[in-house]
Structure 1
Amino acid sequence: MNTTRALGALAAVGVTALALAGCVAKSDVAASDTLTVDSSDAGCEVSAAAATSGTLAFDVTNSGSQVTEFYLLAEDGLRIIGEVENIAPGASRSLTLVAQPGEYFTLCKPGMIGEGVGRAGFSVSGDKIAATGDDAGQKQQAVDLYAAFVKDQVEQLAPAVETFVAAYESGDDAAAKEQFPQVRAFYERIEPVAESLGDLDPRIDFREVDAVADGIDWTGFHRIEKDLWVPAEDALNADDETPAWQDWAPSTPEERAAFGDQLIADVQELNDYVHSDDFQTALDEQGIAGISNGAVGLLDEVATGKISGEEDWWSGTDLWDFAANVEGSKMAFSLVQDFATAKGDEGEALADEIAQGYADLETALAQHGSLADGFVNYSELTEADKREFTDLINALAEPLSQLTSTILE
């Protein structure tokens, strides 16, 4: 699986570097050179690879056979700066935004699933453009960009899970083991969305001890994980009390097929939801507070599971989950960062403190690997390493907990 875009090295983010699609005057759009995009089944041809800062308009024509999407991505390849979706074959749609100086990528996604095609660099030169538009419009834009980010991650998760499950069900455990932490990264970046959907997250991501405690059938990633990393006969579960083989045995081929098919179905249900009106309505109702709280929630995921090594108990791939949670949390923060800095000196200081906290966490993670190249097994961390991570998480969690109240003042 090509993980270049979604599993790239962690990069610094700042919403001031984004191309913000605020409210722009029609005269500005008319004065800009329109860029054309040809989205085909195999390519994404943009008429130019560079532009001057200011209002940009991309006219996207779908010459392919599938419904498609067009994206402008930030330099880290993860954050979505602008996107236009649901472009039917033969149809055209436009994306208009205000582009700040910087390096970006363009990308099309035929079928609206997977990693997309025709990824290419796109440079914007010139002076920084002052943000325009009313506060309500900019807040809605932040919500829309977060929705686009979530949809993109789940669109990549769905086919990645199918490939992973195919390896698992066929008994190609070596391939499945290699894919396991990479596939989970898509999910870990947006996990609070799935957690809001009742029993969907438990079906996809519950650990055995959690399923037993809640009295539900144990399925999903971690049920498959235990099959792939069969524990020793004297091993204990994550509660450090229950024998690993108590009420458990490696799955038969038929059971593997059932567990794999269930995971595919559950992820498809998640994909259907994030593309529904219900999802957009839920985000709209939560507003920027929902984005901010999502940043906090993802950091809590790190603090309550990943840092202890209890999440991926059998595989030891917790640092992949850790890094992906941090990426998702930082992405959400980047979308509301300007609303904090707009609150004056205190808000600006808070935003700077949070940004530094993310940078410190990324630096510490980089000492042990990356999402692109892989991390060391969690068992290789020393107690000093774990204490460092705990201290860094706590240092970030304190100012991050003040973010929502600050931006809503």
Structure 2
Amino acid sequence: MPLPRLGTRSVRLRTAPAVFVVLAVALSGTMLAVSLGGQRHGRTAGAPSGRIVVDVSGSRCGRGWTRPEPGVRTFDLHNSSDGAAEVYLEDPGSQVVYGEVEGIGPGTTRQLTVRLGKGTYAFKCVPDDADAVTGPSVRITGGQRGPGAAPVSEHDLIPPSLAYQKWVGGGLDDVVRLTVKLKDAIDRGDLAAARSAWLPAHLQYERLGAAYDAFGDADAAVNGTDAGLQGGMHDKDFAGFHRIEYGLWHGEPADGLRAPAAALVKAVTGLRDSWSQTRMDPAQLGLRAHEILENTVQFELTGRTDYGSGSNLATARANLDGTREVLSRLRPLLTTRYAGLPELQKELDQAQHTLDGFHRGGSWTSLDRLTRTEREDVNAVLGDLVERLASVATLCDPRRTV
């Protein structure tokens, strides 16, 4: 997926799922094994001690694993075909996956390290343009195997995606209502009331974080920044919540804010009215659960989206709410696949407690008012949460089984 131009839409990133596959390794014992190594070109004639050379071509999938033994083993997966392929190490009966490598190019080798234990294993080779092929089964009689997970299909993700999309529709109703309230305050010249109305409207939009990709170009008109715009904050294309935020907290008169406020109401109303005809990609729902807070760490905790209101921590709290909404729809799939789900819930609660501590007397502490210890605490709790959510993205990444 290409990165958006930051000047024409909100500063949310779209990161390939493979990134999260790598991150998941940090969560020891909570996720299946994945490849960390890059491509190595050329046929592997042999492997260093302790490593096993396995062919992943369609005609010889899984060949080369002749001495299955328990313990931590590293496989050199060599693609001798003329096309790219994914490879899973699975239980051929249950299809529970214990290791995976994506995008092994033709003529290249990738490594996969897995903890093997009692059970049956087989490599499944999934070429880009052909049917999946399952190699010969091998049986190991002793030892403790590493964690695995049953694959999730796009069909599995349709019900939670539809449920989430319905929730977003209700959230957009609230965004319109609150944005109209903001516009009304600006229209009557009551800028104090407008500043009070701005934050609730903006936070309600931020809670819908997993839907932004489906919002398309409308997101730029609603939540765009000045990044990449030639005129910066004074550019004619700077629009939406942050454009109004800049004016409200930098002494701009109401006359200059009426047109941006009207444009914002028009944008959110159009988004709401067209939402029933929009279709979110079910395959992206798990990825979005991770991305919401990944972007929070990158943009809110660094202050890159502060245009004067000092509300980054409030936005982070709204993003946390948005993450919970996605996870609540994915919970039925995660309960039987993700052993770390209870710990994830604890970290969500800890992050909420930490952020709520900066909401005092009806106002939010700005980033520049945090002590060094407070800043470190916020960065640590949200950073840890982002790493744990990487497993959700990996587990909910649909895998081909045929």
2:323 partner SS: helix
Deviations 1:42-76 (Å, cap 9, x if unpaired)?
Answer: xxxxxxxxxxxxxxxxxxxxxxxxxxxxxxxxxxx
Distance 1:299 1:168 in 2: 32
Distance 1:404 1:213 in 2: 37
Question: Are the counterparts in 1 of residues 300 and 312 from structure 2 also a CA contact under 8 Å?
Answer: yes
Partner of 2:241: 221
Question: Are the counterparts in 2 of residues 368 and 376 from structure 1 also a CA contact under 8 Å?
Answer: yes
Distance 1:257 1:136 in 2: 45
Partner of 2:207: 189
Structure 1, unaligned stretches of length 5 or more?
1-134, 232-249
* Distance of aligned partners of 1:211 and 1:202 in 2 relative to their CA distance in 1, 3 Å threshold: farther
Are 1:337 and 2:331 matched, yes or no? yes
Q: Which has the higher contact order (CA 8 A, sep 6+)?
A: 2
Equivalent runs, 1:14-25 vs 2, <5 Å: none
* Distance of aligned partners of 1:378 and 1:211 in 2 relative to their CA distance in 1, 3 Å threshold: same
1:209 partner SS: coil
* Distance of aligned partners of 1:313 and 1:382 in 2 relative to their CA distance in 1, 3 Å threshold: farther
Give the aligned residue type for 1:357.
Answer: E
Give the aligned residue type for 1:393.
Answer: L
* Distance of aligned partners of 1:353 and 1:384 in 2 relative to their CA distance in 1, 3 Å threshold: same
Are 1:267 and 2:238 matched, yes or no? no
Question: Are the counterparts in 1 of residues 317 and 356 from structure 2 also a CA contact under 8 Å?
Answer: no
Equivalent runs, 1:103-182 vs 2, <5 Å: 139-182=157-200
Question: Cα offset for 1:162?
Answer: 0.6
1:357 pairs with 324, 347, 355, which one? 347
Distance 1:197 1:273 in 2: 10
Partner of 1:348: 339
TM-score, normalised to structure 1, is 0.55
Give the aligned residue type for 1:325.
Answer: N
1:402 partner SS: helix
Give the aligned residue type for 1:225.
Answer: E
1:396 pairs with 385, 389, 396, which one? 385
Bigger Rg, structure 1 or 2 = 2
Deviations 1:277-305 (Å, cap 9, x if unpaired)?
Answer: xx2xx32xx32x42222211211221121
TM-score, normalised to structure 2, is 0.56
Distance 1:155 1:202 in 2: 19
Question: Are the counterparts in 1 of residues 354 and 378 from structure 2 also a CA contact under 8 Å?
Answer: yes
Distance 2:353 2:204 in 1: 21
Whose helix fraction is larger, Structure 1's or Structure 2's? 1
Partner of 1:6: none
Question: Cα offset for 1:216?
Answer: 6.8
Question: Cα offset for 1:182?
Answer: 1.0
Are 1:322 and 2:322 matched, yes or no? no
Distance 1:315 1:325 in 2: 17
Equivalent pairs counted in the alignment come to 244
Question: Are the counterparts in 1 of residues 311 and 366 from structure 2 also a CA contact under 8 Å?
Answer: yes
Question: Are the counterparts in 2 of residues 291 and 333 from structure 1 also a CA contact under 8 Å?
Answer: no
1:160 partner SS: helix
Distance 1:395 1:252 in 2: 42
Partner of 2:395: 406
Partner of 1:258: 259
Partner of 1:94: none
Partner of 1:380: 369
Question: Cα offset for 1:373?
Answer: 4.3
* Distance of aligned partners of 1:136 and 1:201 in 2 relative to their CA distance in 1, 3 Å threshold: closer
* Distance of aligned partners of 1:337 and 1:197 in 2 relative to their CA distance in 1, 3 Å threshold: same
Distance 1:252 1:337 in 2: 46
RMSD, matched Cα: 2.5
